Amino acid sequence: MEAAHARTPLRALESVCCLECGDIYSKPVAGGTVQKNPGCPECGYVGWIPLSLPAEPPVLVAARRRRRLARER
């Protein structure tokens, strides 16, 4: 049973909004070929924007905070 699970790769999905028709759908996070990521299921357009922005790395957040504090002094 474990061997079957080891061969099945997991795919992360993200929710996106079609730039043409506004439909919301899921697509693979890693992108991929047209067969794996064919575009909007409603209209077929291959332009999208993520519904949520990726989290900023902690290093960038800390650097921004330091710059802001330096300006306030």
d(CA 32, CA 28): 7
Neighbours of 18 (CB within 10 A): 20
Task: Give how far the C-alpha of residue 64 lies from the chain's centroid of Cα atoms, to the nearest Å.
Answer: 23
Q: What is the pTM of this model?
A: 0.55
d(CA 33, CA 30): 10
Domain with 42, as residue range(s), is 2-72
Backbone φ and ψ for 68, nearest 5 degrees, come out as: -65, -45
Total domains in the fold of the chain? 1
Q: How confident is the model at residue 73 (pLDDT cuts 50, 70, 90)?
A: confident
Give pLDDT tens digits for 17-69.
999 999 999 888 776 665 667 789 999 998 888 888 766 666 677 777 888 88
